[in-house]
Amino acid sequence: MNANDPVQMLIDAGAIPSNPFDEHSRYRNAEIALLPAPPAGPVAPAQRPPLAYLRRRFIAQPSEIALAAYALVQDAERPDLLAARTLGEPLAWWRLADANGVLDPAALTATAGARVAVPVLTG
């Protein structure tokens, strides 16, 4: 990284957050990596900056996630409402999805009365 990069200098000074994700985001602790730009040539006439991307987020098996309780899905409840009711944070719906081994968050609340595992919140 260029020591004279003004954006990096602002990040280092605390004027710009070093992590672009909300504290409740599932990507909060994901590592940001850089894909090197291809060298200049006939396809890429000018040198381009590297491309930032997020490294893969590995999800623990539901059996490895500590549970705080179980909750019953209410009629017409959405994943964010379920998370707000059980975890106190609507943006934490992904924690419920991880603890229940579902890829589609709508599957959490598709059936009223279904039992949903509620994980212990950690950092």
Q: How many CB atoms lie within 10 A of CB 3?
A: 7
Is residue 73 over pLDDT 80? yes
**Domain interval for residue 66:** 62-119
Query: What is the Cα–Cα distance from 41 to 47, expressed in whole angstroms?
Result: 8
Structure tokens at 109: 């609340």
Which pTM does this prediction carry? 0.71
Q: What is the pLDDT of residue 3?
A: 64
Query: What is the Cα–Cα distance from 47 to 53, expressed in whole angstroms?
Result: 19
> Based on the structure, what is the number of domains in the chain?
2
- Are 27 and 75 found together in one domain? no
Q: What is the mean pLDDT of residues 89-110?
A: 94
Alpha helices of the chain — where are they, by DSSP H? Answer: 6-13, 79-87, 93-100
- Are 71 and 52 found together in one domain? no
Domain boundary residue, one of 28, 58, 88:
58
Is residue 23 over pLDDT 90? no
